[in-house]
Amino acid sequence: MSDRPPSDGAPDAGDVAATFCATLVDEWVRCGLTDAVVAPGSRSTPMALALVRDDRMRVHVFHDERSAAFCALGLGLATGRPALVLCTSGTAAVELHPAVVEAHQAAVPMLAVTADRPPELIGVGAPQTIEQRELYGAAARWYCEPGPPTLDGSVWWRDLARDAWHRTSGTLPGPVHVNLAFREPLVGSPFALPPARDPLPPAVPGARWGLMDEDVARITSAISGRTGVIVAGVRSATGVPKAAADDADAILELAGALGWPILADGPSGVREPSPAVVSTFDAILRSRVFAASHRPEVVIRFGGLLASKVTNQWLASSGAHQIAIDRFGRSPDPDGVVAHSFTSEIAMACDQIVAALPDPAPDSWTHDWQVADASAWRAIITMLSRSGDASEPAVALDVVALVPDEGTVVVSSSMPVRDVEAFAVPREGVRIFSNRGANGIDGVTSTAVGVALSGAPTVLLTGDVAFLHDSNGLIGAGRRDLSMVVVVVDNDGGGIFHFLPQRDELPPEQFETLFGTPHGVDIAATAEALGLPVDRVNTRAGLQAAIAGALTRGGTRVVVVRSDREANVAVHSAISEAVVAAVDGGATSGR
């Protein structure tokens, strides 16, 4: 790096671009950036070189831009810090869009940096050129297009970096799009950077406030002495283990003070072994007797929606007074049943409500839910123990049970996230992530790679269609510093559709063509073609041994579990019938 910019004549455009990019990277690192995911390309050369030249950065190269973006998403999920994703111009920039949308809807910080042609090459048919201005629309928290860098603008370079960082990791985290145009030459040598300034922006995102006193009084009046349930759905992404643990502890304390059960899914961070946590709610509420006799008077909702359609329909039709609390004020309400929605730091809101000393529900209320949960678990375990086969419910249970303490589980949308919600045993010390902002299956493998790059041993539970959809995310995975097991449930198609009305309403051939969608691909051979070791298993014992062995050896390994779509429907139906019989056999009044 030169000490000063050239003084004799106009500076070289390549050197200016190199200095501009080095300044952005330096400022982002000072703000807290640690990871950049780079997809190869020519026009993005100045920024790519700035990233690899800064030895404070970890740079991860992905061949596929969509995979790169989802990897950045996974890093943001796991760490709570923005990761940077860089791509070249043209359709490469379009490939970032799905991950940008997920980051937007799940409140995950992300710096999406796209390279572009200079203005004189826009609209004249230059190759690899499209309209990139505000490419991601409303999904971006902020869009910035500073134009080709010049020394005249160097006084603002650090401000640009800070503005981008503030907007991606601020009050409402999400993706920021920085579109950088570069003229040739694209390779240059940076000279002295503009001086850094203090103070730096705050490092921790999200709300840092509680409820207003009048809101605490309103909530206390609504809940005191009444029966209710706490719904803990997928949390707004903080990525910070300490914050997630504080939220979970506070919600558990609130449940204890109110005498209410918690209906908690895996990604909520609240699905822990606790008398208050009811994890079999999907199965329990299939009992019409229990569902009708245990309608709550009040519901307090934290985070996103549950995956269980049965539970969401029950909540929507309950007639309960529903209260939603979210740190980013983004409580979903597709059924239009939330009476009051509050923006507050979760732990603080819970502490405020507990301090107001609301009267608890009758002792019998939570006791009934506990009895039903215990009965349901006995029925589930009994049913799964009748066969040594690795059925899809058994796979979900075993995957979560086998992840080591301080490990992570990434769960694909579609059937895996529903099976984890329905069958995973509550446990401490494990974080569960799922892309439930937009609920898509695209990019789930790359998201898991990003989560694993945060350093935690990671197990991905995914289906065969989702695996094939994002197999590019595993290109080069064997060379990355990962401890990751990819468990693929292979039922040769879209298994979730067998649980929908289309299965019974359409002719079998038509249903299979449009929804069953068998692909006939050898999943294990696909993984082996990517250079990864593979275990093929059919039994629970084989699955358990494969996961434990893979986590012990480290690296990336794929475990393929063969399943059958029709048999899977039968297993789910049998478990549901057994749980309903068990719950109905011990049904109580609910009051």
- Token reading at 116: 């572009």
Q: Are 470 and 444 in contact (CB under 8 A)?
A: yes
The secondary structure of residue 460, as a DSSP letter, is E
Q: Are 435 and 444 in contact (CB under 8 A)?
A: yes
Indicate whether 236 pLDDT > 70. no
Cα separation, 115 vs 103, in Å, equals 20
Three-state SS string over 102-171 comes to: HHHHHCCCEEEEEEECCHHHCCCCCCCCCCCCCCCHHHCCEEECCCCCCHHHHHHHHHHHHHHHHHHHCC
- Mean of per-residue pLDDT scores for the chain: 92
Cα separation, 115 vs 84, in Å, equals 13
Q: Are 79 and 239 in contact (CB under 8 A)?
A: yes
- Reference 236, options 83, 103, 352; nearest CA is 103
Mean predicted confidence (pLDDT) in 356-370: 95
- Please identify which residue in the block is written with the tokens 């040594």: 388
Q: pLDDT tens across 454-493, in order?
A: 999 999 999 999 999 999 999 999 999 999 999 999 999 8
Q: Which amino acid is at 534?
A: V
Cα separation, 140 vs 128, in Å, equals 23
- Reference 420, options 428, 430, 409; nearest CA is 409
Indicate whether 108 pLDDT > 90. yes
Cα separation, 462 vs 449, in Å, equals 13
Cα separation, 511 vs 515, in Å, equals 5
Say what the pLDDT of residue 209 is: 85
- Token reading at 88: 């070249």
Report how far apart the first and last C-alpha atoms of the chain are (Å, whole number).
75
- At residue 7 the predicted structure's pLDDT band, cuts being 50, 70 and 90, is low
Say what the pLDDT of residue 505 is: 87
Q: How far is CA 308 from CA 254, 353, 409, 464, in A?
A: 23, 28, 19, 21
Q: pLDDT tens across 261-290, in order?
A: 999 999 999 999 999 999 999 999 999 999
Q: Are 132 and 114 in contact (CB under 8 A)?
A: yes
Indicate whether 239 pLDDT > 90. no
Q: Which amino acid is at 492?
A: D
Cα separation, 46 vs 17, in Å, equals 6
Say what the pLDDT of residue 392 is: 95
Say what the pLDDT of residue 371 is: 97
Cα separation, 374 vs 275, in Å, equals 10
Q: Which amino acid is at 365?
A: W
Say what the pLDDT of residue 511 is: 86
Say what the pLDDT of residue 237 is: 45
Say what the pLDDT of residue 206 is: 46
User: Regarding predicted confidence, which is higher, 20 or 126?
Assistant: 20
- Token reading at 40: 């190869």
Asked if the bond preceding 11 is cis, omega within 30° of 0, the reply is no
Indicate whether 244 pLDDT > 80. no
- Token reading at 226: 């009444």
SS3 content of the chain, % helix, strand, coil (to 5): 45, 15, 40
Q: Which residues of 189-224 are buried (b: 16+ CB within 10 A; e: fewer)?
A: ebbebbeeeeeeeeeebbbeebbeeebbeebbebbe
Q: Are 352 and 218 in contact (CB under 8 A)?
A: no
Most confident by average pLDDT, 120-134, 365-379, 494-508: 365-379
Cβ partners under 8 Å of residue 570, min gap 6? none
Say what the pLDDT of residue 591 is: 46
Q: pLDDT tens across 164-207, in order?
A: 999 999 888 999 999 999 999 999 999 999 999 886 655 444 44
- Please identify which residue in the block is written with the tokens 């059937």: 415
Concatenated DSSP letters of 399-439? HHHHSPTTEEEEE-TTHHHHHHHHHPPP-SSEEEE---SS-
Cβ neighbour number for residue 362 with a 10 Å cutoff: 15
Cα separation, 144 vs 142, in Å, equals 7
Mean predicted confidence (pLDDT) in 81-99: 97
- Token reading at 568: 């899977």
Q: How far is CA 354 from CA 276, 298, 436, in A?
A: 15, 16, 30
Asked if the bond preceding 201 is cis, omega within 30° of 0, the reply is no
Concatenated DSSP letters of 499-523? GSTHHHHS-HHHHIIIII------H
Q: Tell me the pTM.
A: 0.94
Mean predicted confidence (pLDDT) in 306-311: 95
In degrees rounded to 5, what are phi and psi of residue 275? -60, -25
- At residue 107 the predicted structure's pLDDT band, cuts being 50, 70 and 90, is very high
Q: pLDDT tens across 463-473, in order?
A: 999 999 999 99
Indicate whether 106 pLDDT > 50. yes
Say what the pLDDT of residue 422 is: 95
Helix (H, G, I), strand (E, B) or coil at 334: coil
Domains of the chain: 13-181 (3.40.50.970), 213-372 (3.40.50.1220), 392-562 (3.40.50.970)
Cα separation, 99 vs 38, in Å, equals 14
Say what the pLDDT of residue 207 is: 46
